[in-house]
Amino acid sequence: MTKALASIVLASVVSGSGNMASPQVTMPAPERKPLISGQVRLVSPLSYTLRQLPPDPVTGDVATYDFKPTVTTVDERAGIYDLSWIGYDQRVKSVRYQARDRLSVVVEAIVSRTSTDMIDYKYVVKSQLSSAQRLTVFTVQSLSPTAVGDKQEGLVVAWMGQYLREFSSGKWLAFAVISDAPLQVEPGMSRDFHVRATALPGLVGCRVAGGSAGMDGPDEEVPEVLMNLLPGHGVWPLGKTLGPDDSISKMSSQQRRTYWMERLGELEELGWMSPSSRSWFGRNLEKSSKAALVAETLRCRGRGEVTSEIVSIVESL
């Protein structure tokens, strides 16, 4: 037998038997999905009514004129546009507008108990290098009245108005980075935000916004036909994360297990668990002890098969 042939034979033998060794298949590690953006592109209005001038002070006649509302793209990638029109004084007016959805963001949630009755929700919000603008606002849904946002230097923390359709379910905490703050979240950078509450984690919504909210206007209001082109909060990138939910706290341990069992598919889609770990949890989540679930979850975490969110979920059972 030649040395080469002997090497092949030895490689095919496992534990003294003649069985062929099974190939080791490496499952891809889960990867959190970026928040979904509803990007829109602004274009000049195709139709509009002529604008009325103030009545003539002598005759009282009312004349109309074409005020030529126009949208000019300055930087499509960064969502920067100039809105222009002919004013009542027959001079060209212009304002600069920046859309707030030109960024790609990943949110990581880490939940930890800080005392017997208080839970800390830490959100690591990372703006990816592909973002075309700095991140200026992070909002997260709370389904508990006990939630409080931690204030930090250079941040404004406030509740979003529930009259806004996108923030009408539950209450949404907003963390806004002050424009002249020394710490800005540029593309490729991240920042931590904290929410404290007594409620256990459930699946909640989160949104982000970039760019600037203001428009430096001329000496008259922007015509309504141009204002109607501007997208609302609905285009802010949207995703899911963990957040305080009073209804989870009121559930029994078995009910919490059922709640998460029904959402395993969504947790995998969010990039929080691999297909193999989802399969394991599908078989064991409702029947295994909490200690066994925690132990296996930590092993999966060590192998890179689940994210911090899954660890937080299992520890809250």
The residues, ordered by sequence, that sit 6+ positions from 242 with a Cβ below 8 Å of its Cβ are: 109, 111, 121, 201, 202, 203, 204, 309, 312, 313
Under DSSP, the state recorded for 284 is H
What pLDDT shows up at residue 215? 80
One-letter amino acid of 265: G
Q: How many residues are present in the chain?
A: 317
Q: How far apart are CA 187 and CA 298, in angstroms?
A: 31
DSSP 8-state secondary structure symbol assigned to residue 264: H
**100 closest CA partner among 223, 207, 225, 175:** 207
Q: Report whether pLDDT(308) > 90.
A: yes
174: CB partners within 8 A, 6+ apart: 137, 138, 139, 156, 157, 158, 159, 160
Q: Say if residues 164 and 156 touch (Cβ distance below 8 Å).
A: no
Q: Could you give the CA distance from residue 195 to residue 170 in angstroms, rounded to a whole number?
A: 15
- Read off the pLDDT of residues 79-135 as tens digits, 9 standing for 90 and up: 999 999 999 999 999 999 999 999 999 999 999 998 778 999 999 999 999 999 999
Looking at residue 154, the DSSP 8-state letter turns out to be: T
pLDDT in tens, 122-157: 999 999 999 999 999 999 999 999 999 999 888 999
pLDDT, tens only, 187-216: 999 999 999 999 999 999 999 999 887 787
The encoded tokens of residue 165 equal: 């359709």
Torsion-angle region of 238 (φ positive above 0: left; ψ -120 to 50: alpha; else: beta): beta
Residue 1: pLDDT above 80?
no
Would you state the pLDDT for residue 27?
Answer: 60
Q: Is pLDDT of 2 > 80?
A: no
> 122-136 in b/e burial notation, b at 16+ Cβ within 10 A?
bbebbbeeebbbbbb
Cα(307)–Cα(31) distance, integer angstroms: 8
Say if CB 267 and CB 273 are below 8 A apart: yes
pLDDT of residue 26: 52
Q: Tokens 């003294």 — which residue?
A: 16
Of residues 193 and 38, which shows the higher confidence score?
193
